[in-house]
């Protein structure tokens, strides 16, 4: 598919959602000029940005880059949701039974979701770890480096395993 066609599809989807280039850029963390370049076909968005755009517009990446960009825009305007859709309230909707939502995307989705849901706990744990490391430093300088390394590794392993457990439980729908 040509970059001009993808750009036209991106523009049609954005217009059908009644969004400005500035609003899309703000939601994706890019400038409105970048969004304009995507829509004119001067530059193509990378795969990560295409995934974010598909989630924002409530359609799959395949629909977003397909030759029939008008169908994608109509689907988005009708309020239907896809595997990467949003509800009427604007909250993300995940349909893991949708075949257009492959396992790798489900894993990435639940990993990001876990990290967002546990952000406060992770920050608190990091602060607590730094306070304990400072206390160990004050009490005895000779054991500081090994204690910090071992403690950091154990903290990382603990949270990484909790995240993996959550991802496996949700991404595989309880099927192993």
| CA-based radius of gyration for the chain | 22
Q: At 59, is the secondary structure helix, strand, or coil? A: coil
Beta-ladder partners of 92 = 86
Binning the chain into helix, strand and coil, the percentages to the nearest 5 are: 70, 0, 30
Phi then psi for residue 86, to 5 deg, are -130, 150
- The model carries a pTM of 0.43
User: Tens digit of pLDDT for each residue in 12-37?
Assistant: 889 988 889 999 988 888 899 999 98
- What pLDDT digit, counting tens, does each position of 66-98 carry? 755 443 333 433 333 344 444 444 444 555 555
> Could you give the domains of the chain?
3-78 (1.10.260.40), 103-171 (no CATH)
């Amino acid at each position: 598919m040509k970059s001009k066609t993808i750009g036209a599809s991106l523009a049609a989807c954005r217009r059908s959602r009644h969004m400005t280039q500035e609003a899309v850029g703000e939601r994706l963390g890019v400038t409105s000029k970048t969004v304009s370049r995507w829509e004119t076909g001067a530059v193509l968005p990378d795969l990560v940005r295409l995934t974010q755009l598909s989630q924002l517009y409530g359609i799959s990446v395949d629909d977003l880059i397909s030759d029939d960009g008008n169908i994608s825009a109509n689907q988005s305007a009708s309020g239907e949701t896809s595997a990467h859709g949003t509800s009427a309230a604007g909250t993300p909707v995940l349909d893991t039974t949708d075949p257009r939502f492959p396992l790798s995307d489900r894993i990435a989705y639940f990993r990001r979701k876990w990290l967002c849901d546990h952000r406060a706990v992770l920050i608190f744990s990091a602060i607590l770890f730094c306070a304990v490391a400072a206390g160990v430093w004050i009490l005895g300088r000779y054991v500081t480096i090994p204690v910090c390394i071992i403690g950091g590794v154990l903290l990382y392993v603990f949270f990484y395993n909790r995240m993996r457990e959550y991802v496996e439980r949700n991404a595989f729908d309880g099927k192993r």
